[in-house]
Structure 1
């Protein structure tokens, strides 16, 4: 089974780990994390086979629209999901704008991007949960 891999771009908060990363890993997706727009571009160049990007709409170093355009220069078909505050409209190049952080909605969006792989993960989890304990 090949698990989808997503790049999560989050603002860095000292002493914390990305909540978005934890949500995706709990759903058994592979996750790379970048804490700035510039780091996200470098990660994309180093790991071009990622399946999508989940990014904070309010990064400090690059506007969301600029980062989205730069990422799509590297991989034009790359799906970009921007997590933003209500009313945020500054990223028309994003494939999906999700207002505020709603883990269930984010996972639903990512599962729609990779339905076959998501179904395989769910089946694998179900198979494991029904195995007898020895």
Structure 2
């Protein structure tokens, strides 16, 4: 999970995902997220908040290179936003959408 530098936002989303028994690695910025994925590339999926893309426009491409074949989920306040590298877009303000995606759709 690569989120904005707002620990309270990251903590809330992380807690939501952990409630359904997922282990979550977290990074507050793109550099730390990339470093984390280099150390732990065997993840089930990568969630990136769209706010990171204004500071690191290449982030999704780098994530795709580091974790080939793994789904990239873009969390965005704009549900219609899409990026070719992201397999899924979820509304960042609707945690049930993320849980449904992880549980039912991806079966992670």
Indicate the TM-score class for this superposition, using the shorter chain for normalisation: 0.7 to 0.9
Match of 2:55 among 52, 61, 68: 61
Aligned-residue CA RMSD in angstroms? Answer: 1.7
Residues matched between the structures, number: 104
Q: Which structure has more strand as a fraction of its residues? A: 1
| CA contact 2:6–2:28 (8 Å) conserved in 1 | no
Structure 2 residue 12 is the aligned partner of structure 1 residue 10: no
* Cα deviation, residue 72, structure 1: 1.1
Q: Which runs of 4+ in 1 moved over 6 A?
A: none
* Cα deviation, residue 105, structure 1: 0.8
State the alpha-carbon separation in 2 of the partners of residues 46 and 100 from structure 1.
Answer: 26
**TM-score, normalisation: structure 1:** 0.70
State the alpha-carbon separation in 2 of the partners of residues 9 and 105 from structure 1.
Answer: 18
1:58-95 per-position Cα deviation (integer Å, ceiling 9, x unaligned): 115312xx211101111210111101122434x22100
SS class of match (1:21): helix
Q: Quote the residue 2:99 is aligned against.
A: 107
**TM-score, normalisation: structure 2:** 0.85
- 1:49-128 alignment to 2 at 5 Å? 49-59=42-52, 61-63=55-57, 66-86=58-78, 87-89=80-82, 91-111=83-103, 112-114=105-107
Q: What residue ranges of structure 1 are gaps of 5+ in the alignment?
A: 1-7, 116-134
Q: What residue ranges of structure 2 are gaps of 5+ in the alignment?
A: none
SS class of match (1:88): coil
| CA contact 2:60–2:86 (8 Å) conserved in 1 | yes
SS class of match (1:92): coil
